[in-house]
């Protein structure tokens, strides 16, 4: 029983650390505000990491048949020229669109950056 509790606490701490790490990784200059460039760079990095793992035959190309599960729908959207290969450029273009969408929704003062307050606004407040 006690052992179980410790594991749950550990798992919780791990999730917290990941969330924090994500925020720190995005906010490269540490001012608490996410600029468009910071968000794009951080997302590209995240996606690239995912896609590097997806490159099963390690030929440096990530093809749609190497990607499984939830990631596949993202990958299909990212594959702009529909050749079944996800290139770095396509990932960047896709991520840029996503960041712009997020900004359009949440950047209330239209300065092209997301402050802590803007980020914490719930979706329901926006729509
Ligand atoms: Ca491959
Ligand atoms: Ca492609
Ligand atoms: Ca803003």
Name which residue leads in pLDDT, 122 or 74: 74
**In the structure encoding, which two tokens stand for residue 97, read together?**
């669109």
pLDDT band at 31 (very low <50, low <70, confident <90, very high): confident
Which of the ligands is closest to the CA of residue 39? 3
Q: Are the CB atoms for 64 and 72 separated by under 8 Å?
A: yes
pLDDT band at 40 (very low <50, low <70, confident <90, very high): very high
pLDDT of residue 32 exceeding 60? yes
pTM value > 0.85: no
Distance (angstroms) between ligand 2 centre and the Cα of 83 equals 5
Q: Are the CB atoms for 80 and 67 separated by under 8 Å?
A: no
Distance (angstroms) between ligand 3 centre and the Cα of 30 equals 16
CA pair distance 105, 59, nearest whole angstrom: 38
DSSP 69: T
Domain boundaries, the chain: 2-116
Consecutive H or E run containing 102: helix 88-106
């Amino acid at each position: 029983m006690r052992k179980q509790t410790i594991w749950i606490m550990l798992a919780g701490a791990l999730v917290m650390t990941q969330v924090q790490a994500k925020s720190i990784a995005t906010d490269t200059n540490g001012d608490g505000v996410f600029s468009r460039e910071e968000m794009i760079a951080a997302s590209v990095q995240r996606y690239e990491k995912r896609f590097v793992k997806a490159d099963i035959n390690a030929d440096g190309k990530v093809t749609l048949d190497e990607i499984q599960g939830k990631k596949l729908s993202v990958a299909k959207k990212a594959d702009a020229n529909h050749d079944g290969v996800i290139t770095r450029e396509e990932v960047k273009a896709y991520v840029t669109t996503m960041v712009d969408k997020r900004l359009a929704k949440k950047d209330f003062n239209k300065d092209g950056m997301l402050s802590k307050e803007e980020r914490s606004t719930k979706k329901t407040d926006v729509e």
